[in-house]
Amino acid sequence: MNDKKYPVQKSEQEWRESLSEKEFNILREQGTEAPFTGELNDQYSDGTYLCKGCNAPLYKSEHKFDSHCGWPSYDKAIDGALEHKPDRSMGTIRTEIVCANCGGHQGHVFEDGPTETGLRFCVNSASINFIENQVDKDSEK
């Protein structure tokens, strides 16, 4: 992993205790889940996607789209939420995205998105949580 000091710091043991084995593999060891297996791939409710490692807000639902790649995809992240890093694994150069708050691996960003941003943030479901927008019952009256 990266030696950078992030606002949220935990020992390897603390990370292992707070994450499932799969989450630890993805967030702390740059793993990935198989395409079309993540529980949030087909989630399109209104809300916010948070880092599973530290609960920092990363993406808004209005930026999610179906990229048909098998992972949740967004055309924009919340400003300042992610750090971009060169990734030379897999025999190619890609841009890894990590949570700017805890350094947790989210996935990669590609410049092949179909929207005006031209970006596709390709994210592992196991690296994020979804919080649905709460409807204010008083405003519905």
Dmax over Cα atoms in the chain, in whole Å? Answer: 57
Q: Which residues are known to be catalytic? A: 122
Is the distance from CB of 45 to CB of 132 less than 8 angstroms?
yes
Q: Which of 129, 62, 56 is nearest to 98 (CA)?
A: 56
Query: What are the DSSP E strand ranges found in the chain?
Result: 47-51, 57-60, 64-65, 73-74, 82-87, 94-99, 105-110, 120-123, 128-132
